[in-house]
């Protein structure tokens, strides 16, 4: 029996209800700014669930069934309001490299560690050439996007459908500016936005956008066609300083314009230090229903309650607010600290807009299970 069918057989008809709504209804309602029975909780558990299920990252690297098993095992155990796919950096950029160069660019350290990667190129000319030569297309067929990511995504969507959409699967894709950063490393791209001519940086970003718009055809034909409705855009927050956003932010917005034609429930992942102007823009770009925001910008001196409330007021009537606790507190804090942070977030947010408990970035693989449970319990015990 397939890994999906064995989980469906084990779980169908045996799940205890949580609250009045299904997980799907709860998350959808929050994103639609409608009332929910409980505050949804959907931490980005992608790497963490591999560890939680007892696998090492090396062990699942080329094993789609084990990857999917880890996600479904974790969901059955914790009953979060969404299932996040397992995603690593090789899924995103291995297809830019010929097979023989990949081993040198992607490095596994310990069994729980993130997959490390080295930037693909070091100059803006090389980055432009990489796109102009359509490297991403040439090396796609044997890359992990095809051999691992796609079958894993399809297995999770099969589970979603066979469970009658009780729980949504979140599929995500990086924005053009996120790609532009990742290919060369963030600090280089940020430097180039100052040292290189605007036209040349613009040309590079337009190439990144064109590739991303083509990639969305895949998400439409393969993800949406198989039931995916919840879509996370991993944005380029790290590059978004005031002048970068003003000059180049439209590249990411044009990507969202196509995303929203494909998926009904789109939210924006905005990790790192969030520029206030960026949050204001994300409150207005058409098509985004929620923002998974993160930390105040460097210059802002705010308590967490103040930051939560300012953001909730900004989002009022427009966006669902997704946050708490921070990924650092989720990993290194105590369960008590996590409970407190989740409560602060909910208390500061729900007077103004809907809330989803979802740290600003993915949960660290080393985060203790007690901490993840504390986050979920805190959401489940507050109306």
Closest residue to Zn ion, judged by C-beta, is 271
Q: How distant, in Å, are the alpha carbons of 72, 193, 316 from that of 105?
A: 30, 25, 44
CA pair distance 26, 28, nearest whole angstrom: 6
Of the pair 29, 89, the CB lying nearest Zn ion is at 89
Quote the least distance from Cβ 362 to Zn ion, whole Å: 6
Name the segment binding Zn ion (CB under 5 A); options: 5-13, 132-140, 212-220, 271-279: 271-279
Burial 287-318 (b: 16+ CB within 10 A, else e): bbbbbbbbbbbeeeeeebeebbbbbbebbeee
Of the pair 330, 361, the CB lying nearest Zn ion is at 361
Of the pair 207, 271, the CB lying nearest Zn ion is at 271
Q: Is the peptide bond before 285 cis (omega within 30 degrees of 0)?
A: no
CA pair distance 301, 344, nearest whole angstrom: 17
CA pair distance 75, 42, nearest whole angstrom: 10
Of the pair 31, 271, the CB lying nearest Zn ion is at 271
Quote the least distance from Cβ 269 to Zn ion, whole Å: 6
Name the segment binding Zn ion (CB under 5 A); options: 117-125, 155-163, 265-273, 280-288: 265-273
Of the pair 224, 271, the CB lying nearest Zn ion is at 271
Quote the least distance from Cβ 241 to Zn ion, whole Å: 17
Helix (H, G, I), strand (E, B) or coil at 139: coil
Name the segment binding Zn ion (CB under 5 A); options: 121-129, 268-276, 305-313, 323-331: 268-276
Name the segment binding Zn ion (CB under 5 A); options: 77-85, 246-254, 263-271, 277-285: 263-271
Name the segment binding Zn ion (CB under 5 A); options: 64-72, 86-94, 219-227, 269-277: 269-277
Token digits for 340? 């407190």
Residue with tokens 């000319």: 125
CA pair distance 36, 299, nearest whole angstrom: 35
Quote the least distance from Cβ 375 to Zn ion, whole Å: 17
Which H or E run includes 345? helix 335-349
| Phi, psi torsion values for 247, nearest 5 degrees | -80, -40
Alpha helices in 139-241, H assignment, sequence order: 144, 150-162, 176-184, 186-195, 198-218
Which residue among 4, 271, 312, 330 contacts Zn ion (CB under 5 A)? 271
CA pair distance 23, 1, nearest whole angstrom: 26
Of the pair 356, 361, the CB lying nearest Zn ion is at 361
27 near Zn ion, judged by CB under 5 A: no
Quote the least distance from Cβ 92 to Zn ion, whole Å: 13
Q: Does residue 369 contact residue 45 with C-beta atoms inside 8 Å?
A: no
Which residue among 275, 341, 361, 372 contacts Zn ion (CB under 5 A)? 361
Name the segment binding Zn ion (CB under 5 A); options: 84-92, 267-275, 335-343, 366-374: 267-275
Of the pair 154, 184, the CB lying nearest Zn ion is at 184
Of the pair 158, 294, the CB lying nearest Zn ion is at 294
CA pair distance 253, 256, nearest whole angstrom: 5
Q: Does residue 37 contact residue 19 with C-beta atoms inside 8 Å?
A: yes
Of the pair 45, 361, the CB lying nearest Zn ion is at 361
Of the pair 24, 307, the CB lying nearest Zn ion is at 307
Token digits for 37? 């029975």
CA pair distance 164, 12, nearest whole angstrom: 9
Quote the least distance from Cβ 91 to Zn ion, whole Å: 15
Angle value at C-alpha 106, between 105 and 112, nearest 5 degrees: 155
Q: How many residues bind Zn ion (CB under 5 A)?
A: 2
Quote the least distance from Cβ 292 to Zn ion, whole Å: 8
Name the segment binding Zn ion (CB under 5 A); options: 64-72, 246-254, 325-333, 361-369: 361-369
Please report, as ranges, the residues that interact with Zn ion according to CB under 5 A.
271, 361
């Amino acid at each position: 029996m397939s890994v999906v069918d064995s989980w469906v057989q084990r779980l169908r008809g045996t799940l205890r209800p949580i609250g009045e709504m299904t997980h799907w209804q709860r998350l959808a309602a929050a994103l639609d700014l409608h009332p929910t029975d409980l505050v949804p909780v959907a931490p980005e558990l992608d790497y963490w669930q591999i560890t939680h299920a007892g696998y090492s990252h090396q062990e699942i690297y080329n094993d789609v069934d084990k990857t999917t098993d880890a996600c479904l095992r974790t969901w059955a155990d914790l009953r979060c309001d969404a299932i996040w796919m397992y995603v690593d950096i090789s899924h995103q950029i291995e297809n830019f490299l010929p097979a023989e160069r990949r081993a040198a660019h992607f490095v596994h350290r310990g069994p729980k560690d993130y997959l490390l990667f080295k930037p693909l190129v070091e100059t803006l000319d090389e980055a432009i050439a990489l796109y102009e030569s359509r490297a991403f297309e040439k090396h796609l067929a044997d890359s992990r996007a095809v051999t691992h990511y796609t079958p894993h995504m399809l297995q999770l969507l099969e589970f979603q459908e066979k469970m009658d959409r009780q729980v949504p699967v979140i599929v995500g894709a990086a924005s053009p500016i996120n790609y532009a950063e990742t290919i060369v490393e963030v600090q280089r791209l940020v430097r180039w936005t100052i040292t290189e001519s605007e036209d040349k940086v613009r040309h590079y970003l337009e190439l990144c956008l064109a590739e991303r718009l083509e990639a969305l055809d895949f998400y439409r034909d393969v993800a949406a066609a198989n039931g995916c409705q919840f879509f996370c855009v991993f944005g380029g927050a790290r590059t978004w300083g005031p002048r970068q956003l003003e000059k180049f932010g439209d590249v990411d917005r044009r990507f969202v314009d196509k995303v929203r034609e494909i998926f009904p429930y789109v939210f924006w992942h905005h990790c790192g230090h969030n520029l206030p102007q960026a949050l204001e823009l994300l409150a207005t770009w058409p098509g985004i229903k929620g923002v998974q925001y993160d930390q105040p910008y460097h210059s802002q001196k705010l308590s967490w309650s103040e930051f939560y409330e300012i953001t909730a007021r900004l989002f009022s009537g427009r966006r669902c607010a997704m946050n708490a606790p921070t990924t650092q507190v989720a990993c290194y804090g105590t369960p008590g600290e996590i409970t407190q942070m989740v409560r602060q977030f909910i208390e500061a947010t729900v007077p103004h807009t809907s809330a989803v408990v979802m740290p600003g970035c993915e949960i660290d693989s080393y985060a203790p299970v007690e901490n993840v449970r504390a986050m979920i319990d805190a959401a489940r015990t507050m109306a």
